[in-house]
Amino acid sequence: MAEQVIRQNTKGGKVWYLPNMLTYARILAVPIIAGLLMYGGEAARWVALVVYIIAAITDFFDGYLARIWQQQSALGRMLDPIADKVLVSVVLIVLAADGVLSGGHLWAAFIITAREVLVSGLREFLGELRVSVPVTKIAKWKTTVQLIAIGMLIAGPAGDVLIPGFTKAGIVMLWIAAALTLYTGYDYFRAGLRHVVDGE
């Protein structure tokens, strides 16, 4: 009986592991960033950028700390990719709403957002089959370029005041991220669909 109580307490304690707390913080940062961007103004954009950078840093440390401290949990594995996708998708939507992304450049945001949704669905399916597809180096580069591009676009007009053409450079980076997204998305689906066909 005592052992059962201890196991239950230990299990519940995983909710408050520091890596999970960092993931919660990243999720909570999303409405803050979105609110600052919708509020408008150069100061708000710089604050939004600082919050975004901190959120992006937690994306590295939550997984790193979970591994070295052996604090991996099912909750963390579930929330970590959700936090990443919510952060990217919501910020891209707000950037489109405030006009930083417009016209044909919206396709870059659409490609990235659509890939996140489709890959999430495939991962959920493969999870049921107990199949994992490893993350490639190109996928890691895609994530890095994507995070930098979004950060540049968050600064947007405020960045243009300091460096002319800053927003345009961010859009170019976003298109590079979109191109890498198409490549890695195809690579991921090719690997995933192989398991789907084999399963049939």
Block residue for tokens 């940062």:
29
The whole-number pLDDT of residue 183 equals 85
* DSSP H or E segment with residue 53: helix 42-68
Block residue for tokens 């009986």:
1
User: Which residues of the chain have a pLDDT value below 70?
Assistant: 1-16, 18, 61-67, 69-78, 123-135, 191-200
In the chain, the number of structural domains is 1
Determine the angle formed by the axes of helices 106-128 and 166-199, rounding to 10 degrees: 30
Please state, in angstroms and rounded to a whole number, the distance separating the CA atoms of residues 77 and 81: 7
Domain span at residue 82?
2-199
Q: What is the pTM of this model?
A: 0.81
Q: What is the dihedral of CA 131, 136, 142, 145, to 10 degrees?
A: 130
Query: In CATH, what number is assigned to the domain containing residue 81?
Result: 1.20.120.1760
Closest CA to 59 of 29, 90, 14: 29
Please state, in angstroms and rounded to a whole number, the distance separating the CA atoms of residues 200 and 193: 11
* DSSP H or E segment with residue 72: none
The whole-number pLDDT of residue 26 equals 87
The whole-number pLDDT of residue 138 equals 82
CA 199 to mean position of chain CA atoms: 30
Instruction: Answer positive or negative: Cα dihedral of 61, 62, 67, 70.
Output: positive
Tens of pLDDT, residues 37-95: 999 899 999 999 999 999 988 877 666 566 676 666 665 566 777 888 889 999 999 99
Block residue for tokens 């044909």:
104
Block residue for tokens 């890959």:
119
Q: Tell me the CA distances in angstroms from 45 to 123, 139, 159, 193, 197, one per residue in order.
A: 34, 28, 9, 41, 47
